Amino acid sequence: MSSASLSLSRDDRPILIAALFILVILVAGTVYTFARFGSAPLLSPTYLLQQLQIGAFLGIVAAGMMMVILIAQIDLSVPWTLAAAAMMATSIGGPLAIPVGLGVGLLVGLVNGIGIAYLRVPSMIFTLGVNAVMRGLMVAHTGGYAPQTGATDLMRMLAGDRTLGIPNAVFVWIAMSVLVTIILQRTTLGRYVYAIGNKEAAAYLAGVDTRRITVICFVLCGLAAALAGVLLAGYSTKAYQGMGDAYLLPSIAAVVIGGTNILGGRGRYLGTLIGVVLIVLLNSVLSIMDMPEAGRQVIYGLVIIFMLLVYGRGERVTS
């Protein structure tokens, strides 16, 4: 038995523990609802599918965030990239809505990437500035109010409707997941991403154009945030101010809970997927329990610390 757990690789252990923790959340929530209401809504397929639909937006953002965390950077411009993509998509409307929304994400990612890869500004501060600029542009564009324009039918269909009983947003999330998994595991780009995260200088000396790869990662992250924005606008039928604010820290938390090293170079996409499900379920169980916002924040923080204490500890500095 112990040999089985020992043979788990360093990257798989967090994923297994996080998955077990999801079961713990489900069981604890079900015990609670059974004791209080005499029913077990948490285990019904309808409820779980609805949670997946809500989780899809966070999942897509987290997939992009993982690409930049793997190269030891971070993207703080996600909130207003997401909002800007949603606002531009709804205000353009028509068949061009989605391409324009994604174009916003691509452009933001390109600016981020150039500033960080070529000007070597720390990503923490550069993406912060880009976030402020995007916020400024959108406030100037909308006048500070929620834009009156609505989402197009295609956006609503992609985010809100269901096919064969499964929300379409989940299919988009699955497609995104397959794409990221293939990039990370089956392409040279993926190899380079891990190499840069481990030691950029070594990757450079090995002949990798590390700056180009960095730009690509930020573009992917911007595209993912924009896609989530377009979908979220479709789900809530319109764009609104601050719609991306609730996605920045949870997406980072999901990536890290999934076992990806915040210093880059290590981590599997499956972990990020599990991390997203964990956060979404935790949130929904806490809301079923009528937990006030104060308690939610405390539990949320304690869970992150607890998970990292179990498997995310760094090594002692000895030389």
Partner 1 sequence: MLDDVAIRIRQNVGIVTAVLLFSILYLLYNLAHPKGFSSAVLVQNGDEIFALAMLAMAQTVPVLASGLDLSVGAVMTMVGCFASYLLAGAAGGAPLHLDIFGLHVGLGTFPGGLSGILLGIVICLATGALAGFVNGCVVVYGRIQPIIATLATGAVYIGIALFLRPTPGGKIDEDLNWALTNSLGDFASTVHIFDDGAASWFAPVAWIPVPFVLLILIALLVWVPFRRSVLGRTVYAVGSAEGAAYMSGLPIERAKIAAFTLAGFFAGCGGLFLAIQTSSGNADIPQAGAYTLNSIASVVIGGTSLLGGTGSAIGSIFGAMVLRVISFFFRIFDIAPLLQPLFEGLILLGAVSIGALGVLRVKNTLELFR
Contact set with partner 1 (CB under 8 A): 74, 76, 115, 118-122, 124-126, 128-137, 139-140, 143-144, 200-201, 204-205, 210, 242, 245, 249, 252-253, 256, 262-263, 292-302, 304-305, 308-309, 312-319
Closer to partner 1 by Cβ: residue 53 or 200: 200
Shortest distance, position 4 Cβ to partner 1, whole Å = 26
CB of 208 to partner 1, least distance (A): 11
Q: How far is the CB of 204 from partner 1 (least distance, A)?
A: 6
Residue number, 37 or 118, with CB nearest to partner 1: 118
Residue 309 C-beta-side C-alpha neighbours within 13 Å: 6
Min dist. Cβ of residue 319 to partner 1 (A): 5
Alpha carbons 89 and 149: distance in angstroms, whole number: 9
Closest separation in Å from C-beta 40 to partner 1: 25
Q: Which is nearer to partner 1, 48 or 291 (CB)?
A: 291
The candidate with the shortest Cα–Cα distance to 109, out of 141, 65, 142, 140, is 65
Name the residue nearer to partner 1 (CB basis): 114 or 157: 114
Minimum CB distance to partner 1, residue 99 (Å): 25
Nearer to partner 1, 129 or 160 (CB): 129
Minimum CB separation of residue 178 from partner 1 in Å reads 27
Nearer to partner 1, 93 or 312 (CB): 312
Q: Which is nearer to partner 1, 97 or 278 (CB)?
A: 278
Say if residue 198 is exposed, middle or buried (CB neighbours under 10 Å; 0-12, 13-18, 19+).
Answer: middle
Nearer to partner 1, 194 or 204 (CB): 204
Nearest distance from C-beta of residue 66 to partner 1, angstroms: 14
Output the 3-class SS for the chain: CHHHHHHCCCCHHHHHHHHHHHHHHHHHHHHHHHHHHCCCHHHCHHHHHHHHHHHHHHHHHHHHHHHHHHCCCCCCCHHHHHHHHHHHHHHHCHHHHHHHHHHHHHHHHHHHHHHHHCCCCCHHHHHHHHHHHHHHHHHHHHCCCCCCCECCHHHHHHHHCEECCEEHHHHHHHHHHHHHHHHHHHCHHHHHHHHHHHCHHHHHHCCCCHHHHHHHHHHHHHHHHHHHHHHHHHHCCECCCCCCHHHHHHHHHHHHHCCCCCCCCCCCHHHHHHHHHHHHHHHHHHHHCCCCHHHHHHHHHHHHHHHHHHHCCCCCCCC
- Shortest distance (Å) from residue 121 CB to partner 1: 5
- Cβ atoms of 196 and 184 within 8 Å: the answer is no
Our CB check for partner 1 shows the closer of 171 and 204 to be 204
| Nearest Cα to Cα of residue 233 among 98, 142, 65 | 98
